[in-house]
Amino acid sequence: MRKILIIGIGAGHPDYITIQAIEAMKQAQVFFVTDKGSAKADLVRARTEICERHLAANSYRIVTIQDPERDRTTPAYESAVNAWHEQRRVIYEQLIASELGDNDCGAFLVWGDPSLYDSTLRIVQQMASRATIPFEFDVIPGITAIQALTARHRIPLHDIAESVRITTGRQLAATASLDHDDLVVLLDGKCAFNDIADADIDIYWGAYLGTDDELLLSGKLRATAEKIEQARASARERKGWIMDTYLLRRSRK
Ligand SMILES: C[S@@+](CC[C@H](N)C(=O)[O-])C[C@H]1O[C@@H](n2cnc3c(N)ncnc32)[C@H](O)[C@@H]1O
C-alpha cells in the first residue's frame, strides 16, 4: 500500500520542526513540494534545506508541483477555490500514481501545521475517499504561525479560561469588528485592522516570524496601525512577498 505523510514543518524557524516530523520524513522516498511562483521561492528553498539538513543525501527525491493559478478575478470566491482544489487534486493523483511505487511513501511538507489554512490535507482526504489510487495517510502536527507570534511577543493567546477566534483578513474586512476579546488574523493582504472602529484594542503583529527577516510590532491599534502598514509595505517591496499574522486584543480593564 502506498503511504502519504502530511508533515507540518513549523512556520518559519528551521528548528520549529519536531522530532516526530524528522522521523516521519525518514520514511519517505519522495517529497512533493509545491512551487507557487518566484515570490514563494524562499518557502520552497526552506523545505529543500530541511530535507538536506535531516536526511541522508541520495535517500530521497524532491518532486516539484507547479501550482495551478487560482482565478482571483471572479467574485465567486468559494467556487473559485473549489475549482482550484479540484485542479490540484488531479495533479496530486497523477503524481502519486507516477512517482510512488506500490509500497512507497511520499510526503508533503506543509508550512506550519497542516490543519490551519492549508488545503493539502483536504485534497488528500478527497483523494483517499475517491480511492482511484489506494493509499493510506497520516498527519504530523507542526508549530503554527500563531504559536510563533505569541512566543515571539511573549504573550498568552487568550485570557484565563477564555476563548479565542482565528480568522482571515477577508473575514475581518467583512465584519470590521471584534466578535471576541482575542482575535487572531491570518491571510490578510489588505491590513483589515484599519477597518476596526473600536478605539480600545491592542495589536500584536509579526511578519516572517521565526526567520532572519522577522518583524515584530505591538501597541494600541490606533497608534500602531500606520507603523505596521509602512513596515509591511517596505518589507514587501524588499522581499517581493510577505507573510504576517496578528492578534487583536480588546484592552483589559
Ligand atoms: C496559507 S496560511 C498557512 C498557515 C500555516 N499552515 C500555519 O500553520 O501557520 C498562510 C498564512 O499564515 C501566516 N503565516 C505563516 N507563516 C508565517 C510567518 N512565518 N510569519 C507570519 N505569518 C505567517 C500568514 O498569515 C500567512 O498569510
CA of 103 to the centre of ligand 1 (A): 33
Indicate whether residue 120 lines ligand 1 (CB < 6 A).
no
Quote the pLDDT of residue 82. 84
Beta bridge partners of 217: 205
Interval 9-27: pLDDT, tens:
999 899 999 999 999 999 9
Interval 93-136: pLDDT, tens:
999 999 999 999 999 999 999 999 999 999 999 999 988 889 99
CA distances from 99 to 4, 49, 60, 103, 161 (A): 12, 21, 12, 11, 48
Annotate 78-146 with DSSP letters as a single string: HHHHHHHHHHHHHHHHHHHHHH--TT-EEEEEESB-TTSS-SHHHHHHHHHHHTSS-EEEEEE----HH
Using CB atoms within 10 Å of the CB of residue 230, give its burial: 0 to 12 exposed, 13 to 18 middle, 19+ buried.
exposed
Q: Amino acid identity of 97? A: A
CA of 101 to the centre of ligand 1 (A): 33
Q: Is the whole-model pTM more than 0.85?
A: yes
CA distance 186 to 105: 31
Interval 177-190: pLDDT, tens:
888 899 999 999 99
CA of 186 to the centre of ligand 1 (A): 6
Region 56-76: what's the mean pLDDT? 83
